[in-house]
Structures are given as structure tokens and as C-alpha cells.
Amino acid sequence: MKTVSKMVVINTKLFVREFEGFFFTMIFPIIMLLIFGSIYGNKASDYFGGFGFVDVSVPAYIGIIIAITGLMSIPISIASDRERGILRRYRTLPGGATKVMISWVLFYYLVTTVGTAGLIVTGKLLYGLRFTGNALLVFFLYSLSTIAFLSIGFLLASFMRSARSANAIGMSLLFPMMFFSGAIIPMQNLPLSIKQISVYLPLTYVVDIMQKGWFGGSMSQYGTDLLVLSGIIVVSFLIVRFKFRW
Amino acid sequence: MILKVNNLKKHYGDVKAVDGISFSVKKGEIFGILGPNGAGKTTTLECIEGLQHHDEGDIEIFEKKMTVNDDFFKERMGIQLQESSLPPRMKVWEALDLFSSFYNKNVDWRELLVKLQLEDKKNNYFSSLSGGQKQRVFVALAMVNDPEVLFLDEITTGLDPMARRQMWNVMKTIKYAGKTVVMSTHYMEEAEYLCDRVMIIDKGKVIADGTPGELIDRMGMKNRVIIESEEKIDVEIFKTIKSVLDISVEKGKIEIEGKDTSVLADIARIINDRKIKANIQYKTANLEDVYLHLTDHFNEEVI
Ligand SMILES: Nc1ncnc2c1ncn2[C@@H]1O[C@H](COP(=O)(O)OP(=O)(O)O)[C@@H](O)[C@H]1O
Ligand SMILES: [Mg+2]
């Protein structure tokens, strides 16, 4: 416990000192909201079901924060530590593997949560962000989505040989997901051919579940999302359990 | 015996990295594993440290059979890896504080910093340290749990002579504190200076072991005295010395090989008695000679 809390604190310090990850999870989504928010504003419109652009975008951008953590931050940071022999050194410590893993999960959950909070506060203060869902339920949906993407992150990290390749693969997964999952361009605006791809992108389910939850959708509306996200967690966990190299 | 290794074998594909190595280490001893690059030093150490599975043989440490990745052993060992690092932006004190927290037993890492002359580097980022300072941080990290055995893998490789000397001083302190150290190196001077016993390995096999002194003696490596003088010296006068093995004259230089170090005193006495003006040079065999002799010899046999 002592180790885990120290490790989370140190990871946080490194995250801020190294800045790159910090920028992409904490600042980049807010900049996106400011840019699009200043263009479209947050006037209620029929097009968004009686809500504004910002109201619809914030839950979707939360999905982007989650995806950046899972597809970029985790694989890059772990691959770079592996490359430098840092992971092997951790493994020589008593309970090393377990303690370090738990710390990472907590730390990255914390990072996405702080990023998310920053985004919500910005939306609220600048655009009067509306929320009509059940806060507790949304928090649960958020946590499930985050854990699903943390799992994908550790899955990718299991196979990355270097920080460079982790970066390249992370980018090539992140960008299609951002554009084809409904996070930036609303799903109903995507052509059918793209929608066929969207079905295979994990972020699609996160954006869907977050938006439905945000506006108080009932459980029956996102049954598929829950199933897909839980499936991702179970499968990734099993693979990581046996394939993760230190 | 705090560590017993019997017939250790480990291969990677076709490469027999460790091919039947046996040795044991007494408590409080500094034991050196010597050998050229690729000899199998790191593999041997990592098998003992429980970082790698070995194919054959037994490893007994702390009077227990070693099992891979077992906290019982990790708690009692201090490990420095040949190829490792820390996150560049981690501060020295943060690393020590973090690593300490993993162990049940701890020494105060602030004292370790003082002992390893790193006190003023406490708040530095790891990436800002010199090579020697980084290695001392690794030694400190390996000692946060007050380990019974310390494993150091080529800790001075790549360091400049000053930094190497500094590391030697550190290791002497560790030795005087009664710690058992198993270290690998390819600097013979270092092994001769630090190690109580050494084992020379090549291509995964032990080719010699013993104290540095024993190895030098066993090799029949000679002590040589070289005499230079303006005067003409009759070499017959040295033949009365019991420990003389061989006398040769080359370009006015007399070279005398002796069985042991006493030959020098005997020669000096004779030269003094006869009031000969001469320049006497003494060359004693060292571990380097033994090592070069053995590893060359060994390679020739294999080829
Ligand atoms: N992970 C590995 N995969 C394949 N071969 C390896 C691996 N590690 C070491 N070897 C080989 O095993 C031999 C012994 O290596 P090593 O133990 O690192 O030697 P040393 O530490 O004495 O330089 C070398 O031939 C090396 O190439
Ligand atoms: Mg080595």
C-alpha cells in the first residue's frame, strides 16, 4: 500500500515533468473544446435533441481523453521503461510486478479523471454545460470505459518493443478512432461505409455510452456497449496476464 | 556457504550461455566472476538472482533452494543489473525512497547517500548524473534493504579511471561492513584489488578459480627482475640464489626469473655487496597475466 501510493505520487510527478502526456490528456481536449465551442457555441438546437454543441461534445471528448490514455500514454511510457531496462529492475523488487501494475492502473485512472474534470469544469464555466443524467450512473459508465481503455493500453504495451513503435501504432489507432467513432463528427453525419468501420472501434462504444448516460438514457439503450466494453476488459486481462514482458 | 551453485546450465537457442558452472561463496566474501564479453557472466548472475529460469543444475542461496521470482530471496538480495536505468526525470532521492518502500527491512537511505558520496546529488534528476554517479545510485538502490548478498554486474565498465577508483573505495567500505558480494568484471586489476576469490569463465565454462594469489602461483607465472648497468656483470653471481629459475641476457639487460618474490631481495643484496651500480626493475606477475594466458590458451584449444 505504501509502495503503491509512493509510486502513484512519483508517476504523477514524472507525468508533469515530462509534459508531453500531460499536455495530451489535460490540455489538448480543453483546447479542442475551446476551438469548436467558440465556433458553434452551446445554443440548444433540435439537431442535438434540444441540447447544444458543447453539451453533446463534452461526453464525447471525455471518450477522447480515455482513448489518449489507453492508446498513447500507457503503451509509450511502458515501452520506453522496458527499452531502458527499468521494468526488469522493478521486477527484481519484492512483489514488484503486482505493486507496479496496481500503481499504473490507479495512476492512469487518476490521470483520465483529472483530465475529465478539467474538461467538465471548462464546459460548465464557459458554455453553461447541461447535464440531465444520473451522476452516479455516469461515473460508473465512465469508469467502465476507462478500465476498458486501460486494458487496451496494457495489451498494446505487452507487445511494444520500443517507445517509437508504441508512438507510431498509438497514433495510427487514435486518429481513425477519434474521427470514426462519433467523438468529433456526430455518428449520423458519417457515411455508411465509415459506419461499418466504426463498429470495430472500441471508442465508438465509449462515446455512445457516455452520451446516452449524460442525457439520462435508460440501461436498455446501451446494453451492447456494456457487453462490448466488458468483453474488451476480460479478453485484454487474460492476454496481458500471460503475455506481458518486463 | 551463503551461495552454492552446482552444474548450472542455460542456453539461448544454440548458444550455451552457461555450460555447467559450479562454485560457492562464503559469507562476507567478495567473489569475482571474470571473463571476456559473452562469457556468460550476466546469465550466471541473473539465474542466481531469480530473474531467469535455468535449464539444469542447482542454486542454493541462504541455505534454501532458489526459486525464480520468489520474494523470500528478493527481500535478502541486493541487485544491480548490467543493463538498466531509471526514468530520466526521477530524482535520486525519489528513486531511493520508492525502492525502499518495496522491502520489509530497510536501512535509512539518507545514510546510504552519504556513504556513496551522493548527498549533494539528492535532488538531481537521474539523467543529469555522470556515469559514475549513476552507478553509485544503482549500488545505493541495491542496498536499501540491507541485503545479505549484493550482486554487481560490471559496475565499473565504461567508467573513467577516477570514477572507477571511487567505486572501488565504495566497495571496500561495503566489504568492511561484512557484506557478501558477488561481482562480475573484466578488469583484472579490479578483481585483484577487491576480490577474495575469483572464478574465470569463458564460453560458459569455468577455466580457473581460486584466490588471485593462488591463480598467479598456480600458473607458474614468474617474478622477473631486470637489471641494467653500465658495468659488465657476470651473470654467474646470481646462480647461487635458490629461487632463481632462469637467467637471460638481452641487449645488455639481464633478466632473471624467480620462483617467488624473495628473488628480488637476494639479487639486491648481491648487487649491493659487490658495489655494482645498476638499475633494478621488478616485475611481478598479476592477475592480468594469468587471465590473458588462460583466455588465449582456452580459445586456442577450442579453435
Ligand atoms: N537474451 C538472450 N538471447 C540470446 N542470446 C543471449 C541472450 N543473453 C545472452 N545471450 C548470449 O549468451 C552468451 C552469454 O552472454 P552474457 O551472459 O551476457 O555474457 P557476459 O555477461 O559475460 O558478457 C552470449 O553469447 C550472448 O550473446
Ligand atoms: Mg554481461
A225: containing domain: 2-42+49-243
The ligand 1 atom at the shortest distance from the C-alpha of residue B35 is 22
Q: Which residue has the cell 465508438?
A: A204
Percent of chain B with pLDDT over 90: 61
The whole-model pTM stands at 0.87
Q: Which of B264, B284, B263, B300 lies closest to B219, judged by CA? A: B284
Rg (CA), chain B: 23
CA of B184 to the centre of ligand 1 (A): 14
Thinking of the domain B222-284, which architecture would CATH place it in? 2-Layer Sandwich (3.30)
For B203-214, write each residue's pLDDT tens digit. Answer: 999 999 999 888
Average pLDDT over all residues of chain B: 90
Indicate the residue type of B156.
T
Of the listed ranges A55-64, A82-91, B278-287, the least confidently predicted one is: B278-287
Q: In what order do the strands lie in the sheet with B279-283?
A: B244-250, B253-258, B223-228, B279-283
Label the pairing between strands B149-153 and B180-185: parallel
Q: Where are the domains of chain B?
A: 3-217, 222-284
Higher pLDDT, B101 or B277: B101
Q: Distance between CA A17 and CA B188 in Å, rounded? A: 42
In this prediction, residue B302 has a pLDDT band, given cuts at 50, 70 and 90, of very low
The answer to whether A167 and A21 have CB atoms below 8 angstroms apart is: no
Q: Which of A25, A21, A29 lies closest to A76, judged by CA? A: A21
CA of B128 to the centre of ligand 1 (A): 30
The answer to whether A123 and A58 have CB atoms below 8 angstroms apart is: yes
| The listed CATH number (3.40.50.2020, 3.40.50.300, 3.90.79.10, 3.30.200.20) that belongs to domain B3-217 | 3.40.50.300
In this prediction, residue B300 has a pLDDT band, given cuts at 50, 70 and 90, of low
For A72-81, write each residue's pLDDT tens digit. Answer: 999 999 999 9
Chain B partners of A15 at a C-beta cutoff of 8 Å? none
Name residues contacting ligand 1 (CB within 6 A).
B 12, 15, 17, 35, 37-43
Task: Tell me if B71 and A13 make a contact (CB, 8 A cut-off).
Answer: no
Higher pLDDT, B256 or B180: B180
Percent of chain A with pLDDT over 70: 100
Higher pLDDT, A68 or A44: A68
Task: Tell me if B89 and A17 make a contact (CB, 8 A cut-off).
Answer: yes
Measured N-to-C along each axis, helices A2-18 and A96-127 cross at an angle, to the nearest 10 degrees, of 50
Of the listed ranges A221-225, B107-111, B182-186, B295-299, the least confidently predicted one is: B295-299
Chain B partners of A17 at a C-beta cutoff of 8 Å? 89
Q: Which of A173, A163, A151 lies closest to A235, judged by CA? A: A151
Q: State residue A106's pLDDT score.
A: 97
Q: Distance between CA B106 and CA A138 in Å, rounded? A: 44
Average pLDDT over all residues of chain A: 94
Q: State residue B226's pLDDT score.
A: 86
Higher pLDDT, A203 or B223: A203
Q: With the CA atoms of A186, A191, A193 and A196 taken in that order, what torsion angle do they form, in degrees rounded to the nearest 10?
A: 30
- Residue to mutate among B47, B97, B98, with most A CBs inside 10 A, is B98
Domain count, chain A: 1
Task: Tell me if B98 and A10 make a contact (CB, 8 A cut-off).
Answer: yes
Residue nearest to atom 4 of ligand 1 (CA): B12
Report how far apart the first and last C-alpha atoms of chain B are (Å, whole number). 37
Q: Which residue has the cell 456526430?
A: A186
Q: State residue B303's pLDDT score.
A: 44
The ligand 1 atom at the shortest distance from the C-alpha of residue B39 is 22
3-state secondary structure of A51: strand
Q: Is the dihedral of CA A102, A105, A108, A109 positive or negative?
A: negative
Higher pLDDT, B8 or B285: B8
Measured N-to-C along each axis, helices A96-127 and A135-159 cross at an angle, to the nearest 10 degrees, of 130
For B58-87, write each residue's pLDDT tens digit. Answer: 999 999 999 998 999 999 999 999 999 999
Higher pLDDT, A15 or B287: A15
For A109-154, write each residue's pLDDT tens digit. Answer: 999 999 999 999 999 999 999 999 999 999 999 999 999 999 999 9
In this prediction, residue B283 has a pLDDT band, given cuts at 50, 70 and 90, of confident
Of the listed ranges B26-30, B52-56, B225-229, the least confidently predicted one is: B225-229
For B117-133, write each residue's pLDDT tens digit. Answer: 999 999 999 999 999 99
Q: State residue A67's pLDDT score.
A: 97
pLDDT at B142 over 90: yes
The three cell numbers of residue B198 are 575469483
Encode chain B in three state secondary structure.
Answer: CCEEEEEEEEEECCEEEEEEEEEEECCCCEEEEECCCCCCHHHHHHHHCCCCCCCEEEEEECCEECCCCCHHHHHHEEEECCCCCCCCCCEHHHHHHHHHHCCCCCCCHHHHHHHCCCHHHCCCEHHHCCHHHHHHHHHHHHHCCCCCEEEEECCCCCCCHHHHHHHHHHHHHHHHCCCEEEEEECCHHHHHHHCCEEEEEECCEEEEEECHHHHHHHCCCCEEEEEECCCCCCHHHHCCCCCEEEEEEECCEEEEEECCCHHHHHHHHHHHHCCCCCEEEEECCCHHHHHHHHHHHHHHHHC
For B222-241, write each residue's pLDDT tens digit. Answer: 678 888 888 888 888 888 88
